[in-house]
Structure 1
Amino acid sequence: MTDQTNQDRVFEVDDIHVTFDTPDGKVEAVRGVSLHVDRGETVAVVGESGSGKSQIMMAAMGLLASNGRAVGAVRYRGQNILNLPPGQLNKLRGAKITMIFQEPMTSLDPLYTIEDQLSEPLRVHGGLTRAQASARVLELLRLVRIPDPERRMKSYPYEMSGGQRQRVMIAMALANDPDLLIADEPTTALDVTIQAEILRLLAELQRKLGMSILFITHDLGIVEAFADRVYVMRQGRLEEDGPTARIFHAPATDYTRMLLAAEPEGEKPPVPDSAPVLLQGQDVEITFGKPGGFLSKSNLFKAVKGVDLTLREKQTIGVVGESGSGKSTLGRGLLQLLPAAGRVIYLGRDINGLTRQAMKQHRDGLQMVFQDPYGSLSPRMTVSEIVTEGLLVHEPGLTRKERAARAAQALEDVGLSGAMRNRFPHEFSGGQRQRIAIARAVVLRPRVIVLDEPTSALDRSVQKQVIDLLRGLQEEHALSYIFISHDLAVVRAMSDYVMVMKEGKIVEEGPTAQIFDAPQQEYTHSLMRAAFDLKSLLDAG
């Protein structure tokens, strides 16, 4: 190794092992992995869910769960930072090394405004005054394309969409112009047009600051467009590594070839018009904020504007649109998880405005899989307790043994071993947690499931498994889905009808083939173009 190489080497992982102590024994998450990142370089770490990608970085940043242990070496600018005391590590974290986490809702404090949370690293590490920090926060929100940033900096995390929360996390990571940015699935919750904006922004800052980027992702389209080199991981080990062009055009292993070939396939035939209607929304509107008073200004914001929707038995309606378009808000309103105006009719009865007690009889039939699985899974409950919680409420006559059997079967159905049921959520990868969330919903055998970005945290090979699973469950139990996603390839494979949302309104809808092959609106056309040609979109910027 030359002196120049030593000088340029920003980050290095040397033979790292990560293990977790669980009730079922030791789990080896990472098994002797070595990798490095040089100055100004973008390096991607890819692999299937559970391959150990994120755990390497959690160990490096001193963020492993209490039952986790790491051995080996992690060097920043030649200094071994693995297992540094928190006081010494804090001088690097948030300043020289920053990290964008996979699940923004659990990384942002629900009790503090966006301005407060972005200001903290600026004041602690940058020494800015309150006024200077506030001005920098506004600048950062504009950089990551948060709409209406003056208003949004006063918002709380729960008032923002998943994509907007992810952009806040990116802004926080970039606040102090870091030397190394570790990005763990930083664009998972973002639609493709915003992905391209964020990636262009990162590339621009990288050129300006000489920043290095370590990019952990399952999205191979982003890797091909953005990374200089790639490490491929499988079951905690390094499978292969090399320049991006070589990995994509001449992969050395069957596993890498499988990853590159994994794309959602097939199409869902439309249901007949004679199929029973399960759920209808009529002129649904959802508004946030409070009306103005004598001395106060109104801060009302209409997130969903007059939406009509009809969902039939065994139908899948895909709802697509950019981050913040109102997709998730609409789904929550239809399930009465948010107050809504208009009518919501389930099995012939208007359920809009029912009390919580009155809605209880419908909850087992109306389920939701949330976008952020870690935020929706209690960290204090085992997977078995999480999956069987609904059975305790809706099927109280089941014995403990019967509930355990149902939980084990539900986990097997979503591709997880029933033997994992005694573990806690933090012991799973992001993709595995999403499958647990799906198991929790399907264990009740509902009639309607709203799936809010159910595959966004999953790599392509696991996405195919989950799509097959959802299709099988739909056929077996006559399920109906409202499938909310920014991943248009998955929507095309899953849905027989598509609704396109923009700024709270439906701007186009129709059978899937019509929307994808002959879109009528320029907005829809731009979404399709962006989704299937990210590299061109990046180059165009």
Structure 2
Amino acid sequence: MAETSDTILAIRGLKVDFTTPDGVVNAVKGIDLDVRAGETLAVVGESGSGKSQTMMGIMGLLARNGTVGGSAAYRGRELIGLPPSELNKIRGAKVTMIFQEPMTSLDPLYPIGRQIAEPIVHHRGGSYRDARKRVLDLLELVGIPEPERRIDSYPHELSGGQRQRVMIAMALANEPDILIADEPTTALDVTIQAQILSLLRMLQQRFGMAIVLITHDLGIVRHFADRVAVMRRGEVVEQGSTAAIFERPSSDYTKMLLAAEPRGHKAPPLDSAPIVLEGRDVSVDYQIGGGLFSGGHRMFRAVDRVTVRLREGQTIGIVGESGSGKSTLGRALLRLIPGAGYYRFGSTDISGFDRARMRPLRREMQLVFQDPYGSLSPRQTVGEIVTEGLFVHEPSLSKAERDRRAVAALTEVGLDPEARNRYPHEFSGGQRQRIAIARAMILKPHLVILDEPTSALDRSVQGQVIELLRRLQDSHRLSYIFISHDLSVVKAMSDYVVVMKDGRIVEEGETAAIFESPREAYTTSLINAAFNV
């Protein structure tokens, strides 16, 4: 590849390897890429293609068992092998990165304002107090409501989308030369996606900043990127202008990616199907502000008198913007967090059940979390993670039987069972989400709440996971609550849809009715944003 005069990052022969108990995994196999001043380069491909590991290798952020080779020159200065003290002068100032999973990137012990101020203080000097005005401006810029109040909030007090916006503010703090955005809109609802992308474009034009966009969302790529590089199994199979890639793809693999889209529809259960889970007049309040010995706190109602009834074999899709209360409602229905109202699982009133009384029921009611990396122990192998629930609910199983069940579960979710001896950090975001699904499914539950289960997956894998969930549902009469901001997936997966805003249900009904003739303006705006109407 010939380097042009406006190239500010030249990648040549880049390799990334991981040493594992099963041998060396070649994650990136000698690729060449150029990043040009002021452009947006999209790096796309399925989970495990090496997209994220390419950039992590350049930034010197690989796990301990990872090694990087080849060349990555930023404005002529070689980054590979640069001492950390010298690399730190570039990272966070000239080249910054928005990570795929914000909850694991933000320190739970510090307010978000201090964390955003850290790169400002490190690279520009001054105190955290001096940086406060800049932090407030950044919070407002990325769309965090009430920045004066939120600046002192902790990560766990924010929704997934709000945490991602904090990461974007932190990355933009020093007006970088290159912004590497690894799935920057994965945790965001469709309306906020458009705002964030518009913000990034505005900043790009203002500062002449180059953006490397790592994503599985080809809809975003089509409207946002100047050039596209398609990766598969650690290699670049095709690259060119966005128009050329979308209009005249030369690789069969690229053609497959462009054709992938969630399809099909879910038939509703019979009216006579028994109710598996019911939450009536569910309300959840959080105390915010104040401290252990100080006053000044107030109550925030995250879920406000919501009623949900889930039947056997049914899939209820819950949609709404970040902070609408979707995930909080799911956890309240499983009695994982306290909430007012009436709760029933099957024929059992569980409204007053404490943790001990709920424990025997946990096998029957599983949860797949939104953030797969945060829910997977970095100290356990994949096999240990997937079989962890068997120790609690089937303690008499032999080691050989647990291993057999792990192999079956991993195969069922589309992972190589040989991967059970590896650790979570060795997998892509999409692969980690499939591990989390396998962990839930190995117990053969009757009810599963899926909180953004496909948010980290590329479109082709989304279709595979949807088909997997459908097969499991048909085989075992499973009931799902499917929480997502991806309306195309909800449309394919659900037979009933609940639309939430500010903790309340604004509209609900059968899937076809909601998507074809929504009654509320808010629902219409979500659908229009999702399908680029």
Q: Which band: TM-score by shorter chain?
A: over 0.9
The aligned counterpart of 1:539 is none
What RMSD over aligned residues (CA atoms) do the two structures have, in Å?
Answer: 1.5
Q: Hey, what's the Cα distance between the residues in 2 that align with 1:151 and 1:358?
A: 38
Q: Hey, what's the Cα distance between the residues in 2 that align with 1:24 and 1:250?
A: 40
Paired amino acid for 2:362: R
The aligned counterpart of 1:420 is 419
Q: Hey, what's the Cα distance between the residues in 2 that align with 1:336 and 1:262?
A: 37
The aligned counterpart of 2:397 is 398
Matched, 1:340 2:358: no
The aligned counterpart of 2:388 is 389
The aligned counterpart of 1:493 is 492
CA, structure 1 residues 333+52, in 2 after alignment: closer, same or farther (shift >3 Å)? Answer: same
Contact 1:340 1:352 (8 Å CA) reproduced? no
CA, structure 1 residues 2+64, in 2 after alignment: closer, same or farther (shift >3 Å)? Answer: closer
CA, structure 1 residues 352+206, in 2 after alignment: closer, same or farther (shift >3 Å)? Answer: same
The Cα shift of 1:356 comes to: 1.4
The Cα shift of 1:349 comes to: 1.9
Helix, strand or coil at the partner of 1:83: coil
Q: TM-score when scaled to structure 2? A: 0.98
**Aligned counterpart in structure 2 of residue 206 of structure 1, from 197, 204, 228:** 204
Contact 2:315 2:480 (8 Å CA) reproduced? yes
CA, structure 1 residues 2+436, in 2 after alignment: closer, same or farther (shift >3 Å)? Answer: closer
Paired amino acid for 1:58: M
Paired amino acid for 1:26: V
Paired amino acid for 1:138: L
CA, structure 1 residues 135+369, in 2 after alignment: closer, same or farther (shift >3 Å)? Answer: same
The Cα shift of 1:267 comes to: 0.2
The aligned counterpart of 2:249 is 251
The Cα shift of 1:291 comes to: 8.9
Q: Hey, what's the Cα distance between the residues in 1 that align with 2:146 and 2:387?
A: 42
Q: Hey, what's the Cα distance between the residues in 2 that align with 1:463 and 1:448?
A: 20
CA, structure 1 residues 292+56, in 2 after alignment: closer, same or farther (shift >3 Å)? Answer: closer
The aligned counterpart of 1:435 is 434
The Cα shift of 1:132 comes to: 2.7
**Aligned counterpart in structure 2 of residue 111 of structure 1, from 71, 94, 109:** 109
Paired amino acid for 2:74: Y
Unaligned runs of 5+ in 1: 537-541
Matched, 1:46 2:81: no
The aligned counterpart of 1:526 is 525
Helix, strand or coil at the partner of 1:70: strand
Paired amino acid for 1:126: R
Contact 1:336 1:353 (8 Å CA) reproduced? no
The aligned counterpart of 1:304 is 303
Contact 1:425 1:433 (8 Å CA) reproduced? yes
Contact 2:114 2:128 (8 Å CA) reproduced? no
Matched, 1:318 2:317: yes
CA, structure 1 residues 74+397, in 2 after alignment: closer, same or farther (shift >3 Å)? Answer: same
The aligned counterpart of 2:61 is 63
**Seq. identity, %:** 64
The aligned counterpart of 2:180 is 182
Aligned residue runs from structure 1 range 24-423, under 5 A: 24-289=22-287, 296-423=295-422
Contact 1:339 1:353 (8 Å CA) reproduced? no
Contact 1:184 1:215 (8 Å CA) reproduced? yes
Q: Deviations over 1:235-273 (max 9, x none)?
A: 111110000001001101111000000000000011111
Q: Hey, what's the Cα distance between the residues in 2 that align with 1:344 and 1:132?
A: 50
The Cα shift of 1:296 comes to: 2.4
Runs of 4+ in 1 over 6 A off after TM superposition: 291-295
Contact 2:40 2:212 (8 Å CA) reproduced? yes
CA, structure 1 residues 292+82, in 2 after alignment: closer, same or farther (shift >3 Å)? Answer: closer
Q: Hey, what's the Cα distance between the residues in 2 that align with 1:29 and 1:227?
A: 24
Helix, strand or coil at the partner of 1:91: helix
The Cα shift of 1:32 comes to: 1.1
Q: Hey, what's the Cα distance between the residues in 2 that align with 1:387 and 1:464?
A: 22
Contact 1:219 1:460 (8 Å CA) reproduced? yes
The Cα shift of 1:85 comes to: 1.1
Q: Hey, what's the Cα distance between the residues in 2 that align with 1:382 and 1:153?
A: 37
Unaligned runs of 5+ in 2: none
Paired amino acid for 1:97: V
Q: Hey, what's the Cα distance between the residues in 2 that align with 1:456 and 1:2?
A: 36
Paired amino acid for 1:348: S
Contact 1:370 1:451 (8 Å CA) reproduced? yes
The Cα shift of 1:128 comes to: 3.7
Q: Deviations over 1:168-218 (max 9, x none)?
A: 111110111111000000100111110110000000000110000000000
CA, structure 1 residues 111+466, in 2 after alignment: closer, same or farther (shift >3 Å)? Answer: same
Q: Hey, what's the Cα distance between the residues in 2 that align with 1:445 and 1:116?
A: 44
Q: Hey, what's the Cα distance between the residues in 1 that align with 2:136 and 2:312?
A: 47
Q: Deviations over 1:98-123 (max 9, x none)?
A: 00000001000111111111111111
Contact 2:118 2:128 (8 Å CA) reproduced? no
Q: Hey, what's the Cα distance between the residues in 1 that align with 2:242 and 2:423?
A: 36
Q: Hey, what's the Cα distance between the residues in 2 that align with 1:525 and 1:495?
A: 18
The Cα shift of 1:299 comes to: 2.4
Contact 2:181 2:212 (8 Å CA) reproduced? yes
Paired amino acid for 1:367: Q
Q: Hey, what's the Cα distance between the residues in 1 that align with 2:228 and 2:294?
A: 58
Contact 1:369 1:450 (8 Å CA) reproduced? yes
Paired amino acid for 1:101: F
The aligned counterpart of 2:446 is 447
Helix, strand or coil at the partner of 1:90: helix
Q: Hey, what's the Cα distance between the residues in 1 that align with 2:466 and 2:242?
A: 28
The Cα shift of 1:274 comes to: 0.6
CA, structure 1 residues 291+358, in 2 after alignment: closer, same or farther (shift >3 Å)? Answer: farther
Helix, strand or coil at the partner of 1:289: strand
Q: Hey, what's the Cα distance between the residues in 1 that align with 2:214 and 2:107?
A: 23
The Cα shift of 1:390 comes to: 0.2
Q: Deviations over 1:69-95 (max 9, x none)?
A: 111001111111012111111001111
Contact 2:364 2:447 (8 Å CA) reproduced? yes
CA, structure 1 residues 292+53, in 2 after alignment: closer, same or farther (shift >3 Å)? Answer: closer
The Cα shift of 1:295 comes to: 7.0
Contact 2:238 2:251 (8 Å CA) reproduced? yes
Paired amino acid for 2:193: Q
Q: TM-score when scaled to structure 1? A: 0.96
Paired amino acid for 1:366: M
Helix, strand or coil at the partner of 2:387: helix
Contact 2:10 2:34 (8 Å CA) reproduced? yes
Matched, 1:513 2:512: yes
